[in-house]
């Protein structure tokens, strides 16, 4: 009886502890969102009056000093930080002023000041907005200082939110240019084949420019064909999905399409829940060749006609090669009509020895994810 009671107590403790931690996390997120909203409003107010208003060059410094007198002990409103709020507003207003509802911004924002703002061709989905409001202003400031494009900013915002990066961790990854090494796929034809800007944005962020397929374990990939690489991937499909992200669902390898009585085979077919799109992967062990895009274009047309459901987005194709020439890839995209991209891969055998030694043992990883 005592053992039963003890187990019940332990279960109760775990349940209550989980609720407390979730509540604290939720409260912290609300506080952070409120703070970001306030800074955004201050940035808007200062931007309007300092850029097109009558404030002189010393206005922000004077206002900061007066605020300290009005609210002794106030932190976060130095001259530098107020200018950072202006940068924060001016960088994000083209996106947020169209993304957030009037009710969400009404508390702080005067929409009459925004009539001259020109929106950029991008949208944020709910996941991006959640990530945006879950990271602190300090990290936002660092990201704005070191990045230029929306795609790059969202890459770091997502990683900060998902992995709870500190300022120092973020600064390290920014200095190492992690986005270029691990970020969005660089060579696609998405701009001309996808009209929906939000879907286009998500598609760019869903694929990397280079993939580390260290579970292939083939001494010399130049001496094997694509089918052997494919079989290695299928044998380690959990690892392959982890390389792309948890939103991908495996639908099959050597996926068969029947068109006018003829059979055609796609190397690997996935479904992306976040994109709501079929994703076809073609694996090539050597250099990229122009004919690969024509073949992929056909596969995607067939998937859209015979496999895609009416409520799903257009199918996407990714050609993964050992190496690629950027100019040849761009010219190959010129006559394509279906969305596709080209990425490269490498195996752990190609990494420098110090990095190989730092990687966890794949057998141990397999045990962890079983």
Given a cut of 60, whether residue 358 has pLDDT beyond it is: no
State mean pLDDT over 274-279. 92
Neighbours of 268 (CB within 10 A): 22
Q: In terms of pLDDT, which residue wins out, 341 or 235?
A: 341
Q: 116 and 195 share a domain?
A: no
Full residue range of the structural domain in which residue 211 is found: 187-369
State mean pLDDT over 102-122. 39
Would you say the C-alpha torsion 63, 68, 70, 74 has a positive or negative sign? Answer: positive
Q: 173 and 194 share a domain?
A: no
Confidence (pLDDT) at 308: 96
Q: Which of 185, 190, 186 is nearest to 339 (CA)?
A: 190
Tens-digit pLDDT profile for residues 198-239: 788 788 878 888 877 654 444 444 445 566 666 666 666 666
Q: 168 and 260 share a domain?
A: no
Q: Which of 343, 334, 301 is nearest to 192 (CA)?
A: 334
Q: 158 and 208 share a domain?
A: no
Given a cut of 80, whether residue 361 has pLDDT beyond it is: no
State mean pLDDT over 120-149. 82
Dihedrals phi, psi of 351, to nearest 5 degrees: -75, 150
What percentage of residues in the chain have a pLDDT greater than 90?
Answer: 36
Q: E strands of the chain, at which residues? A: 187-188, 210-212, 248-259, 262-272, 277-283, 316-321, 340-346
Cβ within 8 Å of residue 109, ≥6 positions away: 40, 41, 44, 97
Measuring CA to CA, how many Å separate 102 from each of 89, 135, 187? 17, 22, 37
Q: In terms of pLDDT, which residue wins out, 257 or 367?
A: 257
Among 26-30, 127-131, 181-185, 250-254, the range scoring the smallest mean pLDDT is: 181-185
Number of domains in the chain: 2
Confidence (pLDDT) at 22: 75
Task: Tell me which H or E stretch contains 203.
Answer: helix 197-206
- pTM beyond 0.85: the answer is no
Distance CA 205, CA 184 (A): 5
Q: Which domain-ending residue is among 140, 167, 182?
A: 182
State mean pLDDT over 296-323. 95
Which pLDDT band, with edges at 50, 70 and 90, does 284 fall under? confident
Which CATH number goes with the domain that contains 334?
3.40.1350.10
Q: 193 and 123 share a domain?
A: no
Q: 58 and 144 share a domain?
A: yes
CB 42 within 8 A of CB 82: yes
Q: Which domain-ending residue is among 182, 205, 233?
A: 182
State mean pLDDT over 246-272. 89
Q: 68 and 214 share a domain?
A: no
Q: Which domain-ending residue is among 182, 198, 221?
A: 182
Q: 236 and 172 share a domain?
A: no
Confidence (pLDDT) at 203: 87
Mean pLDDT of the residues in the chain: 79
Q: 194 and 337 share a domain?
A: yes
Confidence (pLDDT) at 23: 79
Confidence (pLDDT) at 369: 42
Measuring CA to CA, how many Å separate 247 from each of 183, 300, 364? 16, 20, 23
State mean pLDDT over 137-145. 95
Confidence (pLDDT) at 243: 60
Among 174-183, 274-283, 313-322, 334-343, the range scoring the smallest mean pLDDT is: 174-183
Distance CA 149, CA 204 (A): 13
Tens-digit pLDDT profile for residues 142-175: 999 999 888 889 889 988 988 888 899 999 889 8
Q: 22 and 167 share a domain?
A: yes
Q: Which of the residue ranges 86-95, 163-172, 313-322, 345-354 has the most confident prediction, judged by mean pLDDT?
A: 313-322
Dihedrals phi, psi of 321, to nearest 5 degrees: -120, 165
Q: 62 and 75 share a domain?
A: yes
State mean pLDDT over 319-336. 93
State mean pLDDT over 255-276. 92
Tens-digit pLDDT profile for residues 43-87: 988 998 888 777 888 899 999 999 988 988 888 899 999 999 999
Q: 48 and 110 share a domain?
A: yes
């Amino acid at each position: 009886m005592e053992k039963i009671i003890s187990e019940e107590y332990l279960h109760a403790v775990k349940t209550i502890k989980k609720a407390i931690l979730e509540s604290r996390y939720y409260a912290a997120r609300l506080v952070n969102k409120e703070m970001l909203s306030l800074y955004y409003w201050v940035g808007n107010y200062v931007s309007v009056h300092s850029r097109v208003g009558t404030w002189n060059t010393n206005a922000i410094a004077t206002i900061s000093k007066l605020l300290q007198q009005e609210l002794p002990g106030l932190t976060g409103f130095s001259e530098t930080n107020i200018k950072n709020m202006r940068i924060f507003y001016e960088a994000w207003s083209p996106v947020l002023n169209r993304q957030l509802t009037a009710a969400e911004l009404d508390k702080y924002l005067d929409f009459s000041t925004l009539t001259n703002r020109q929106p950029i061709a991008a949208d944020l989905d709910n996941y991006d907005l959640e990530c945006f409001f879950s990271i602190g202003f300090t990290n936002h400031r660092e990201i704005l200082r070191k990045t230029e494009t929306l795609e790059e900013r969202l890459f770091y915002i997502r990683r900060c939110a998902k992995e709870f990066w500190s300022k120092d961790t973020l600064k390290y990854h920014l200095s190492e240019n992690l986005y270029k090494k691990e970020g969005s796929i660089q060579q696609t034809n998405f701009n001309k084949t996808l009209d929906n800007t939000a879907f286009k944005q998500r598609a760019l962020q869903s694929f990397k420019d280079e993939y580390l397929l260290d579970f292939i374990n083939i001494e010399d990939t130049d001496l094997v064909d694509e089918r052997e690489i494919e079989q290695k991937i299928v044998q380690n499909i959990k690892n392959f999905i982890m390389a792309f992200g948890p939103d991908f669902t495996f639908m099959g390898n050597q996926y068969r399409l029947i068109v006018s009585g003829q059979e055609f085979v796609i190397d690997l077919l996935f479904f992306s829940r976040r994109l709501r799109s079929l994703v076809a992967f073609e694996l090539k062990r050597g250099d990229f060749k122009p004919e690969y895009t024509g073949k992929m274009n056909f596969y995607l047309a067939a998937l859209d006609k015979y496999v895609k459901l009416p409520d799903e987005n257009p199918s996407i194709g990714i050609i993964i090669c050992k190496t690629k020439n950027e100019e040849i890839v761009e010219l190959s995209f010129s006559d394509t009509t279906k969305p596709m991209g080209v990425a490269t891969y490498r195996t752990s055998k190609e990494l420098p020895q110090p990095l190989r030694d730092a990687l966890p043992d794949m057998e141990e990883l397999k045990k962890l994810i079983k």
